[in-house]
Amino acid sequence: MRNASLLAQFILAAAFALFLGGCTTANTQAPSVSPQGKHPADWVNVHWSEYLKNPDQCRTCHGSITDKAAAGGISGVSCFTCHPTGPLHQAGWAAPQKHGRLGAQAAPAEMAGFAYCAKCHGSTYDNGLAVSCKSCHTRAPHPSAPWNGATADAPSHARTDAGNAAECAKCHLNGANSTLKPNPPAPAGTVPGCFNNTMCHGRSFE
């Protein structure tokens, strides 16, 4: 009887050890996770590149990246917490109108505006965690000529929402990389705008 009791205790202990071992193995396969299940402090800057290496290692703890109802996983931390529409682009995003005029050129918002693109594609749109915009657009963030076309049908930068001015200023402050030079340039520290002499134009299209 005593031997049977000892055997039962041994089996229970072994099963518990296997259970713990299984959890430990799953967690240690996750990228850069401490014994407490925490990512490094700079994880937000590298998590996309780590995700691309093996998406399944993230789904184990964080659940679905396409279905909000199945997101969160065992960690209880959903990708939708920081990416309200999901971490991936919407279907059909490759269409020029979708990621251009309705995406990068639109008023800054979730999934819109040049600054939002820069979060994943980098400050120069070819140095981020995601694919380089210059793999398709050699002059990213905008396409080649007639980017500055004057007609309504041309992919004119005049149709870019003015809220993107700060991103444009990265390359065009004081008329840089443009045939137009502001005259006179705006005082130092002036918030970038489309028609205030901080970049290429004054108060009118010239």
Query: For residue 21, what pLDDT is reported?
Result: 42
Over its C-alpha atoms, the chain yields an Rg (Å, rounded) of: 26
How far is it, in rounded angstroms, from Cα 65 to Cα 172? 37
| Angle, vertex CA 15, rays to CA 11 and CA 18, nearest 5 | 140
**CA nearest to 168, candidates 105, 103, 93, 100:** 105
| Strand residue runs (E) in the chain | none
How far is it, in rounded angstroms, from Cα 86 to Cα 76? 16
Query: For residue 167, what pLDDT is reported?
Result: 93
Alpha carbon of 143 to those of 101, 104, 179: distances in Å?
12, 12, 17
Q: Identity (one letter) of the amino acid at 137?
A: H
Query: For residue 153, what pLDDT is reported?
Result: 57
Q: Show pLDDT as tens, one digit a residue, over the chain (206 residues).
A: 555 555 455 444 444 444 344 334 444 455 678 887 788 887 877 787 788 788 788 888 889 888 889 999 888 988 888 777 777 787 788 888 888 888 999 999 877 899 888 888 888 888 877 788 888 888 778 776 667 665 545 667 888 999 999 999 999 999 898 888 777 888 989 999 999 999 988 875 54
Tokens 């809220």 sit on residue? 163
Other Cβ atoms within 10 Å of 79 Cβ, number: 22
Query: For residue 23, what pLDDT is reported?
Result: 39
Q: Yes or no: say if 60 and 29 are a contact pair by the CB < 8 Å rule.
A: yes
Query: For residue 146, what pLDDT is reported?
Result: 67
> What pTM was estimated for this model as a whole?
0.63
